[in-house]
Structure 1
Amino acid sequence: MNNWARPPERALIMHFTHITNMPAILASGRLIADSSVAALLVTNVGATDIKAARRQRRVSCPPFGMVADYVPFYFAQRSPMMYRIACEHRDQAADRYPGGDDPLVYLVSSVDRVHDAGLAWAASDGNCAASLTRFTRSLHDLAELVDWPLMGEEIWKNLPDDRDRVRRRMAEFLVHREFPLDLVTGYVVRTPSRKEELRQVLRSAGAPRAYVDVRPSWYYGYAPGEVSK
């Protein structure tokens, strides 16, 4: 599962959510846009300030609307958003989701599956809440719009000669209104114990054969109070 080894029109896309949200997601058979999903979430891992900004940020290409009117996917694992979640857990930040990234489940699909299904979508070249971020609805634009080499790098922090790396690493694939789960190709979790937990949820939902993989390299996994070496 490496996007830098895939053509942009077949790139993997990744949405993550807390494992406690999975029963409701599986019961509905879909992911729902941020603007409509809040009441259905058991555990909301998103920051209030970021969600508020996404409700005000317009998508400049069809089907238009606000960023919050879309189901968000990243093109790369270990996103800056997941880093923030992991760090806030490590630092025991006040008034933030406290659970870290370990309970998060990736739902993985691909650009071509969404496009071939005829769903309305848009892609961004970076953080959708940033004013300079650009959008497209064209498959042909993806090759130039997204910084694909950066999607494959483990270290994505800003550098003295490139202070826009963090924003670009947050490039998104946005699916309008809702995303049907039959387009999911598999799920990724951090540990074997989380895999078994998710498998139990999937079995209870009538999806015992769904593909689940353990990929600790897709996570940060910081412990509370951990000191960087």
Structure 2
Amino acid sequence: MVANTERPRPTTIMHFTHIDNLPRVVKAGRLFSDTSVGPQLATNVGAAEIKARRRHRPVPCPPYGFVADYVPFYFAPRSPMMYRIACDHRDGKLGCYPGGDDPLVYLVSSAEQVHAARLSWVASDGNCAVGLTTFTTVLGELATLVDWPLMRARFWRDGDEDMDRMRRRAAEFLVHREFPLSLLAGYVVRTMDRQEQVRQVFRDAGMIEPYVDVRPDWYYGYKRGEV
């Protein structure tokens, strides 16, 4: 564990999905775990091999099950997963989701909101697909479980003095089975065009437009072939 008590309050958590998925998410009124999402995903941005590992990685504390039985949230933007998505797009990597991070939408809430709603949740100190990662179900333990200075850092690559930064930057807050959109504080996108797209999804659904912030610094935004 990391000896640091500077946990931000509220403790922001964020899940991202492709904007193509948003109409179905809004219609359902909730996010679903990977094992129960079914046809909700119009565009899947996850790597197949990583998803497979998460389906077999047990969660060692209540309510147990496997990592894929939970809706995943990160504690920081510009995650290692988003970096892989951005790089696959930049490099034109075959066999991967090709669209990059620009169409991805963050759904933002807080650990306190989830806890107050009495949803079952589990937090990790790093990438849940990695065997040495540890877990907790105690909100107060997030202060020492998560590396908060690393969550605030713009750069998180492993270095000679610390070969575990990438794993720790991928610390997660997992909500069991499903997450209701009523617990969201808002949405974050990369551009004003994407902001309008998200608002239009809600207008098309006959719903009140949510708070949608534009934060390009939450993205990598690599273009195809960019060095």
What TM-score, normalized to structure 1? Answer: 0.95
- Map of 2:15 onto structure 1: 15
The question of whether the paired residues in 2 share the 8 Å contact of 1:9 and 1:139 is answered with: no
Structure 2 spans left out of the alignment, 5+ residues:
none
- Map of 1:110 onto structure 2: 110
Deviation string, structure 1 residues 148-174 (Cα, Å, up to 9, x no partner): 000000000001010000000000000
Deviation string, structure 1 residues 25-49 (Cα, Å, up to 9, x no partner): 0000000001111422100000000
- Map of 2:31 onto structure 1: 31
The question of whether the paired residues in 2 share the 8 Å contact of 1:121 and 1:137 is answered with: yes
Q: SS where residue 17 of structure 1 aligns?
A: strand
The question of whether the paired residues in 1 share the 8 Å contact of 2:5 and 2:143 is answered with: no
Structure 1 residues 125 and 61, CA gap change in structure 2 (3 angstroms): same
- Map of 1:124 onto structure 2: 124
Measure the CA separation in 2 of the matches of 1:38 and 1:125.
28
| 1:11-160 pair list within 5 angstroms | 11-160=11-160
Measure the CA separation in 2 of the matches of 1:38 and 1:73.
19
Measure the CA separation in 1 of the matches of 2:8 and 2:134.
17
Measure the CA separation in 2 of the matches of 1:76 and 1:189.
14
The question of whether the paired residues in 1 share the 8 Å contact of 2:6 and 2:148 is answered with: no
Deviation string, structure 1 residues 117-169 (Cα, Å, up to 9, x no partner): 00000000000000000000001211000000000000000010100000000
Measure the CA separation in 1 of the matches of 2:45 and 2:144.
31
Structure 1 residues 38 and 99, CA gap change in structure 2 (3 angstroms): farther
Runs of 4+ displaced beyond 3 Å: 4-9
Q: Which amino acid aligns with 2:168?
A: R
Measure the CA separation in 2 of the matches of 1:205 and 1:182.
15
The share of aligned pairs that are identical, in percent, is 64
